């Protein structure tokens, strides 16, 4: 147990976590977009970063292959995340999990009439809970990406997807009709590491938490 391993995904999570890490004195030695390395050294000899798929972060941290990581609320809810300590909402990678339908589809009427909806999504667990709570019958169709296509080719009546600007929906003649929940990324920590590596982990968690308000103000 000689150092800390931090799991991050490439893209927006990596980019938006950088300023928060800097506040903890952690600066990656390389950019994962240009380097092909999956293990990155940092300015701190006792901290390294591993680059994993966004949806794999909870697995690495839960099993202790990484001591901590950053994952979206969407990913954590789909994964379960029951064994992860989630001390800080980082307020980054903000978007909303929403139900969207083709502009000409009358969602409210379909719900009112008790129609069985075909819903395509990557977020099967969140979608199932949402529609069950509303008492709406759904056939969930699991997809791994490009959910916007499904209603256009008749695979589904509706989709459940993450929306930020809404531009992708608009470009595909879809409109958001219901918000399921707001999404942001959270710091996740392995519970055993929190005990065994407490002296190293707690200052990092505290420094990141302290930097969140400033990062949030800048993003707003
Ligand atoms: P991959 O690209 O490897 O298939 P992914 O699509 O989950 O995985 P990202 O697009 O980097 O990876 O998304 C990472 C996290 O960022 C998501 O889990 C979500 O929490 C958040 N996110 C996704 N889309 C948006 C968006 N449009 N705006 C803001 N945050 C988003
Ligand atoms: Mg993506």
Query: Minimum-distance ligand to the CA of 74?
Result: 1
Return the CATH number at 137: 3.40.190.10
Residue 163 lies in domain: 95-182
Same domain, 65 and 15: yes
Same domain, 103 and 75: no
Alpha carbon of 135 to those of 113, 130, 151, 175: distances in Å?
12, 9, 22, 22
Same domain, 32 and 76: yes
- pTM equals 0.96
pLDDT in tens, the chain (220 residues): 589 999 999 999 999 999 999 999 999 999 999 999 999 999 999 999 999 999 999 999 999 999 999 999 999 999 998 899 999 999 999 999 999 999 999 999 999 999 999 999 999 999 999 999 999 999 999 999 999 999 999 999 999 999 999 999 999 999 999 999 999 999 999 999 999 999 999 999 999 999 999 988 887 7
User: Considering its fold, how many domains does the chain have in total?
Assistant: 2
Ligand 2 centre distance from Cα of residue 1 (Å): 33
- Residues near ligand 1 with C-beta < 6 Å? 9, 11-13, 53-55, 72, 74-75, 93-95, 162, 164, 183, 185
Same domain, 30 and 80: yes
């Amino acid at each position: 147990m000689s150092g800390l391993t931090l799991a991050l995904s490439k893209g927006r999570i990596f980019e938006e976590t950088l300023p928060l890490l800097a506040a903890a004195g952690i600066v990656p030695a390389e950019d994962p977009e240009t380097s092909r390395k999956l293990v990155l050294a940092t300015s701190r000899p006792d901290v390294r970063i591993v680059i994993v798929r966004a949806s794999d972060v909870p697995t690495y941290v839960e099993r202790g292959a990484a001591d901590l990581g950053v994952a979206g609320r969407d990913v954590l809810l789909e994964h379960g995340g029951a064994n992860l300590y989630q001390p800080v909402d980082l307020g980054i990678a903000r978007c909303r999990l929403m139900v969207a339908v083709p502009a000409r589809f009358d969602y409210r009427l379909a719900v009112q009439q008790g129609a069985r909806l075909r819903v395509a999504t990557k977020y099967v667990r969140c979608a199932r809970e949402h529609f069950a709570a509303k008492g709406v019958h759904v056939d969930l169709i699991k997809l791994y990406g490009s959910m916007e296509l499904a209603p256009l080719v008749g695979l589904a009546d509706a989709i459940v997807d993450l929306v930020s600007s809404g531009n992708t929906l608009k470009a595909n003649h879809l409109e958001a009709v219901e918000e399921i929940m707001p999404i942001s990324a959270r710091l996740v920590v392995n519970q055993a590491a929190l005990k065994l590596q407490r002296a190293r982990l707690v200052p990092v968690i505290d420094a990141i938490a302290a930097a969140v308000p400033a990062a949030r103000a800048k993003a707003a």
